[in-house]
Amino acid sequence: MLLTLSVAAQPPLLTDARELGFVLHKNPATLFQRELTFGTASVFYPEATPEQTTAALLVELDPIRLVRGRADSLFQYVCDRPYVASSFLCVALSECFSTALSGRCKERPSLATTPLEFTVTLPTLACDAGESLIRRLLEPLGYTLTLTRPILDTHFPEWGYSNLYTVVLCGHHTLHDLLSHLYVR
């Protein structure tokens, strides 16, 4: 599972986009990893320049821990859980960004309470109810959405489209509010 969070410099509010690291409490120059009961969460910055900074949260599930004790043996062979945004991603958000989720920032307190223009990408989100549900949940919160949905197989277009979406959210929020909108309690 992957989630990316990007912010561009927005003078005078944010003159250096790398300050996102202060609010997330994760240094853009280092890899942060945390062991979770179901796998490993990693936070890294694929892009960290004064103009644009992107933080990535990668959650790698341990397939052995997922199937241990399950009677359904097929689950271990047919499972989208390691790839699709789910409750595991919410747990990782809470564990890796707990201080930002609470709205605190010791180093840059004013930045923690400043609404900024963020872009969030969820490359794989399952939604059997379709695009309309995603829009009904997120657009009222002030996000502009871009949703793409791949065809199941280009050789067999009659099969239709996948129930997986790539979701890109753009919105003007505090980091606390943004993370709260993504985190399901």
Q: Which domains does the chain have, with CATH numbers?
A: 2-182 (3.30.1610.20)
In 9-143 the beta strands, taken as DSSP E runs, fall at: 32-36, 39-48, 52-61, 116-126
Measured CA to CA, the distance from residue 130 to residue 124 in angstroms comes to 13
| Token pair for 63 | 């397939």
Q: What is the pLDDT of residue 19?
A: 95
CB 152 within 8 A of CB 145: no
Give the percent of the chain with pLDDT over 70: 87
Counting as low any pLDDT under 70, the low residues of the chain are: 65-85, 185
Q: Is 8 exposed, middle or buried (0-12, 13-18, 19+ CB in 10 A)?
A: middle
CB 89 within 8 A of CB 59: yes
Q: What is the pLDDT of residue 89?
A: 85
Q: What is the pLDDT of residue 125?
A: 87
Mean pLDDT across the chain? 88
Q: What is the pLDDT of residue 69?
A: 58
Q: What is the pLDDT of residue 85?
A: 64
CA nearest neighbour of 175 among 10, 51, 28, 23: 23
Residue 7's identity, in one-letter code, is V
